[in-house]
A and B are shown apart, each in its own frame.
Chain A
Amino acid sequence: MQYMLLIYTDDTTEPAPGTAEFGTYMQRYMEFTQEVKDKGLFVAGDALEKVNTATTVRVRKNEVDTTDGPFAETKEVLGGYYLLDCKDLDQAIEYAAKIPAAELGSIEIRPVMVFD
């Protein structure tokens, strides 16, 4: 079963590039990615650019409405995700807790829809 691990963090509390903490933080991410790949759980994973690069698009009555910024202004925003193939929710929780951002923000777990 595939689970989406959505990473929500506050941009301002994450280690900034150029600092020593940033190096360790990224190192832990790489180790995590390697671990889920080695275990055969990894399906996909992406890190998004900072939320100030976001654009939101809506179509209402065939009119396209494009606005600057994310869909909702929240302190913590979606920063990236991992898509993992886990045997059950407990395994997904086990790996969610290993994502470095779990200690700064929150990891939301959502099962991926299966059409059958």
Chain B
Amino acid sequence: MHYALLIYQAEGLWEALSAAEQEALLGKHGALQEHTKQQGTFGAAVKLTPSATAITVNKEGGKVTVTDGPFSETKEVLAGFYVFQCDTLEQAIDYAERIPHIQAGKVEIRPIAFSDSRALLV
């Protein structure tokens, strides 16, 4: 079963880190990716740009509207996510704990219903 591990954290947290801290954080991500690739459970890893660059698209009666900003204004925003193949939810939680952002933010785990990803075929 595939799980999406959605990383939510307060906006600006990454930008507030020093270069050395960013480096250390990326190192931990690298280790997690390495680990899951070895186990054959790695699906995908995506880091989004800050939500300030977001736009939201709606379509009503054939008319497309584009607005500035993320879809909802929450304190914590989606910063990125992983997709892993896990046997159980416990394994997904275990991976979640290894995501460094979990120290300050939150990781939401959602099973994937179906996938079109090439990335998941690895």
Contacts and interface: CB of A to CB of B under 8 A. Distances in A.
A/B: CB atoms within 8 Å of each other: yes
A66 interface: yes
The contact size tier of chain B is: 35 or more
Contacts of A47: 112-115
Given A4-B46, A66-B93, A74-B72, A55 B112 contact: no
A72 interface: yes
Given A56-B108, A112-B48, A106 B54 contact: no
User: How would you classify the secondary structure of chain B's contact residues: helix, strand, loop or mixed?
Assistant: strand
B74 A102 contact: no
User: How would you classify the secondary structure of chain A's contact residues: helix, strand, loop or mixed?
Assistant: strand
A78 B111 contact: no
Contact of A46 (B74, B78, B80, B112): B112
The contact size tier of chain A is: 35 or more
A56 B55 contact: no
A16 interface: no
Contacts of A66: 93
A6 B71 contact: yes
Interface in A53-91: 53-60, 64, 66, 70-72, 74, 76, 78, 80, 83, 89
Task: Return the 7 tightest CB-CB contacts between A and B, nearest first.
Answer: A44-B117, A96-B57, A102-B59, A45-B116, A108-B71, A49-B111, A113-B47
